[in-house]
Structure formats: C-alpha cells, structure tokens
Amino acid sequence: MKIFGFWLKLFGIIGFSLFHIAVFSQDELITNIPSRNTYSLDGQWQYIVDPYETGIYDYRHKELSQNDPQAYWNPDTAQNKSDRKEYGYSDKYVLKVPGDWNSQLPEFLYYEGTLWYKKSFDYHKSKNANRIFLYFGAVNYRADVYLNGSKLGIHIGGFTPFNFEVPDSLLKEKGNFLVIRVDNKRSAEGVPTLNTDWWNYGGITRSVKLIELPAAAIRDYFIQLKSKSETKGEVEGWVKLDSVISGDKLRIEIPALRINKIFPETGKIVAVHFMLPPFRPWSPENPVCYQVVISNGADRIEEKIGFRTIETRGREILLNGKPVFLRGVCIHEEIPQQGRRAFSPQDAMQLLGWARELGCNMVRLAHYPHDESMTRLADSLGIMVWSEIPVYWTIDFSSAAVLENAEKQLNEMITRDHNRASIMIWSVGNETPVSQTRTHFMKTLVDSAKIMDPTRLLTAALEVNLHANQQTRMVDDPLGEYLDLIAFNEYLGWYGGTPASCRTANWETKYNKPFFISETGAGALGGFHADSLTIWSEEYQEWYFREQVSMFKRMPAGFSGVSPWILADFRSPRRNNPVYQEGWNRKGLIDQQGGKKKAFFVLKQYYSEIILTPSTLR
C-alpha cells in the first residue's frame, strides 16, 4: 500500500507538470542551473521603449506577421538606401541585465508597458549532439522570446524561471540576435492582479543563460527525506530524464555518507528509495548540506542537499521531530538604498544578513518567489524559508485561466526549489477575501502543491474577523481546514486604535493546528523622532512593537511564530503621504538608507530572549 501511494504521488507530479507544459507551450523546467554547462547572456542589452506596441502591431492595431520587416524581432538594418526602417537597436540605449528598468533610468521610474531588449552573441556547441536551452531566472511580467527572427515562445508570470529549447537549425556560431518583448502592464486577469502594495518593477530582472545538455540529460530530481516516516533517514524521491538509453543505470552518490546506489532506467521517471546511515540533520543551528551526485551514462550533476523533516503534531511545528518556534521577518525582494529589485548573491547576503542580525531563524519571502540566490544562501546560513506565489488580495477567483496561471507559477516555484532544505513552507496566497469561489480556488492550489511536494507545510496568510466584543479575534477562515499552518495578518494599533489595544486583545482559532502571525507592523520614517503618540515617528513604531511583544508573550498554546512586516522600507505607489512616505511603504525595521530604526532592537531583544524548549516556545 505504501509503494502504491508513492507511485500515485509520483504520477500526480508528472501529470501536473506535463499538463502545464502542454497548456503554456514551454519546455519543462531545468533545475540546478549552477551545476550545468552554461553560457551567461547577462550584461548590457540594447532596448527600445514601445508604449504604443508599434513593434508588434500595425497602425490598425493588427498583429504584424512573423516576417514583417517592421516587426521589432526582425533584423533592424536596412538592406539598401531605399529600405525604410522605422526602428533600430543602438548602443546609445542600453540597460543592464539582470535588473529592472525602473531604477536604471529616471524616465522609467513609473513606466508600465512594453520594452524590447536585444542581445547579440556567438555560440559554439561543445558537442554536436548536445541540446541548447535558453533559460531565464525571471522576466516581469510577460516575455515573448525571439531568436534570429523566430519565436521560441511566451512566458507569463513575473517571478519564476522558464526555459525554451533552441532548435539546431536556428542557432548560429556567429551573429545570433536574441530579442525579448517584455510587458509589465498590470491586468485584471493577472497574478498578481491590478492592485498590489509593491513596485511593479519591469524588465529582465534575473539572469539569462544558455544551457547545453546531453540528449539523455537529467532534467530534474527530488531527493528528500520522507516526512512522517516510521524509520529515520528514509529517502524517497525520483529523477526525471530527458531520454533513456538502453542499458543505462542511474547512480546516486553521497560521498560523505558512503552512499552509492544504482537504479535501473526503466523509463524517463526513475523512482529512488534508500536509507541514510546516521547523519547530521539540517537545522538553523547546524545547517549541514551533503554533496549529492546524480549521474547516468550521459550526464552528471552535483547538488548540496540538507536532510531534515518538517511536520505538525497537534498545535506544534516539528523540525526533525522537535518543536520549533519561528522567529521570522517578511522580506521584499528589494535593495532599499538603491530602490531597485534585488537579484544577486550579494543582494541576498545583505537581506539575509540583516535577518540574522535581527535574530531570525526564518524569513517569509513576500509576496512572490525570490531569486534563487536567496533560497540557496538560506540553505547555507541555516534560515528557514516561507515561499509564496503572488495570489494577492482580490484576483479573479472565478476564472479558469487565472487558476491555470496561478497553478503554473506554483509549479515553477516548487520545481525550482524542491531540493532546498531551507524551504519549510509553501504559501498559496495572501489576504484573499473569504467566499466559496475563493476557497475552492485556493484549495485547488493547496491540493496541487501537496501532490507536487508532500514533504513541506502548506499555508496562506489569512485575514482575521473581529467579534462583537472588540477583543476576541477569531481565526475561522474556511480555508484553514486544508492548511497545515494557520497563518494570519494583524495590525492592532496601526489600522485603527493605538498600540495599547494589544493589551486586551485575545486570540482564538477553531482549528487544532499551530498558528502563526504572518504580518504585523507600523510605519515610521527613519530619523523622524517625536513622542510615542506621534504617528510616523520611530517612537510610535517602537511602542507598537513593545505592545506586540507583550501580546506575543501571553498568546495561547499553539502560537508557533511570527514574521513582522517588514525587514526594510520598500517602494509602493500606494503610499503617497508627501512628508512621510513619498512612494515608500515605511513599515520597515530598516530605513531607506539602510539604517536600523528603534523597533528593530525591540524585536531583536524579544528574539534573543526566546527559549526553544518543548514546554515553552515563547
């Protein structure tokens, strides 16, 4: 029965993945890019800003044909002196990739629309039989990809990776030109939709690479400890191959643990199952990752993987079988000192370094999957991660197309990071309004995620109902029935009342599950000082957190952690107070210049006082 259940989950994963490949006409995601044979296309790209979308539509707003000489994906050089060209790429107009366009040029700060990128390159394959793929870490929001005038495909979604295979007939050794039409316009059918509370950074925001793979490449794999296993150290997973060569065998090695297992390649999906000898489990205190080598006759890749379990028992979260309290903070993928999208290992080190200084053992990556450098660094630093898709506020929960889009982004998020030890929680959304339609939509996402990855906790950040006595707040969202962790956002003393309202607030949840405060916070302009009753002052924010901490200390059983909003100030067009905001959300514990506000030290003190024992987690 256990074996049957495993294969059911395995085929569910495969079926889910293949379904979305067919719908969106793009290649299955290649994982573990750092271990592949790659060629970087990062650097300076030429661009054309195109608010009227002239590069794709004619003056009647009819789409141009593939070979139309006025289409911006075709060569921009005139063939003779009578050849009319009304567009062109030039080194006068360049942008850095990776990077958002909003922060690179002042005229693009608020720009939402179409911008065309062009990159010229040469490439010689190391082996003629190898296959070439074009890989993007992320493009916000829609990317139309053309190589040498031919369209490779479309990707929709601004925060997840994607790749397309490059046909041999299309790639040249000299003089290739790659054109990407990037459109970051918000739409009612988007995920996220029209209304958000963060900057809509447009552009090719993460790295672009060519990947060269053998024909029988190892496309993806899932090598994780089985959760709720009766036997410690039981590994259960799978390896996905692009093709199978007769007689080939798949080998998995973990040299430090003297693991050397061989599995017959009976198909493109190879189930793996073995026991680990005594090992050191990954934890924030001891973030051990073991070198894992996966190989067959054609391909060999390496990956550092930490082995640990995360599960719930009643109202407790258990890490490696022991209760854990999540000392967290929310993070936007933004570098405040420069007002730009974060994308590099150095950016990740700044953000996660601040979180470590605060005393965090966990971060909530809001409200979308962050760059892979964040989750890889979290593995090595020992920081647990909540990763989320941007099903945010009020999207169109009745739309089948929107659900497909959300499921696709969920698929890409989980596929990229399902071997990261630091990922403890997958989240399917934030502050979605309760309705039967919405709950069905969200439950569909939860069910899909549990099929794809049964080893991690599933949650969503919920809103809270205020009962008639104005003191008891009940977490009774019907979505909670399907979640592993009941997480909710609360802002007592900021959106109504003063921080003193925390003193009489009581919390309840109808579910016998651990609960978690996924957001709480108050705005303060860094460097503005006044008495504690003066809103926008650092003193008001400091008071807010002092009252919140006092409330945390008397929370009922089941309180399993908190991730205050937010680590650092970030840009938001919704925040328009001309004195205190000026287009910035000021709830950061760290200000726009990188300085720590007074509230930072209140939370740091609370985290330093927490004693992690099964009897008292606060």
Question: What span, in angstroms and rounded, lies between the C-alpha atoms of 508 and 485?
Answer: 14
Is the confidence at residue 121, as pLDDT, over 80? yes
Model pLDDT, residue 18: 37
In percent, the amount of the chain with pLDDT more than 70 equals 93
With a CB cutoff of 8 Å and minimum separation 6, the contacts of 617 are: 323, 324, 325, 559, 560, 610
Is the confidence at residue 613, as pLDDT, over 50? no
Model pLDDT, residue 5: 45
Angle at 284 between CA 283 and CA 287, to 5 degrees: 60
Q: What token pair was written down for 217?
A: 């490449």
Q: Is 575 helix (H, G, I), strand (E, B) or coil?
A: coil
Query: Candidates 2.60.40.10, 3.40.190.10, 3.30.420.40, 2.60.120.260; correct CATH number of 215-311?
Result: 2.60.40.10
User: Angle 538-552/598-609 helices, nearest 10 degrees?
Assistant: 20
Residue 554: other Cβ atoms inside 10 A: 13
Q: Is 447 helix (H, G, I), strand (E, B) or coil?
A: helix
Question: What span, in angstroms and rounded, lies between the C-alpha atoms of 546 and 169?
Answer: 65
pLDDT-based confidence at residue 14 (cuts at 50, 70, 90):
very low
31-213 sits in which CATH class? mainly beta
Q: Is the peptide bond before 273 cis (omega within 30 degrees of 0)?
A: no
Q: What token pair was written down for 580?
A: 């205190």
Sign of the alpha-carbon torsion through 567, 572, 575, 577 = positive
With a CB cutoff of 8 Å and minimum separation 6, the contacts of 257 are: 276, 277, 279, 290
Place of tokens 């990855």: 453
Of 471, 351, 465, 373, the closest CA to residue 422 belongs to 373
Question: What span, in angstroms and rounded, lies between the C-alpha atoms of 35 and 549?
Answer: 44
In percent, the amount of the chain with pLDDT more than 90 equals 88
Question: What span, in angstroms and rounded, lies between the C-alpha atoms of 152 and 132?
Answer: 12
Model pLDDT, residue 432: 97
Model pLDDT, residue 26: 59
Of 530, 533, 519, 529, the closest CA to residue 585 belongs to 519
Q: What is the pLDDT of residues 567-602, one digit of tens each?
A: 999 999 999 999 999 999 999 999 999 999 999 999
Is the confidence at residue 19, as pLDDT, over 80? no
Tell me the domain boundaries of the chain: 31-213, 215-311, 323-519+542-574+588-609
Q: What is the pLDDT of residues 363-374, one digit of tens each?
A: 999 999 999 999
**Cα dist from 33 to 39, 98, 121, 302, 376, whole Å:** 11, 16, 20, 10, 12
Q: What is the pLDDT of residues 538-570, one digit of tens each?
A: 999 999 999 999 999 999 999 999 999 999 999
pLDDT-based confidence at residue 82 (cuts at 50, 70, 90):
confident
| Total residue length of the chain | 618
Same CATH fold, 215-311 and 31-213?
A: no
| Cβ-contact 237, 221 below 8 angstroms | yes
pTM of the model: 0.94
Of 142, 135, 139, the closest CA to residue 53 belongs to 142
> What topology does CATH give the domain 323-519+542-574+588-609?
TIM Barrel (3.20.20)
With a CB cutoff of 8 Å and minimum separation 6, the contacts of 469 are: none
Model pLDDT, residue 20: 35
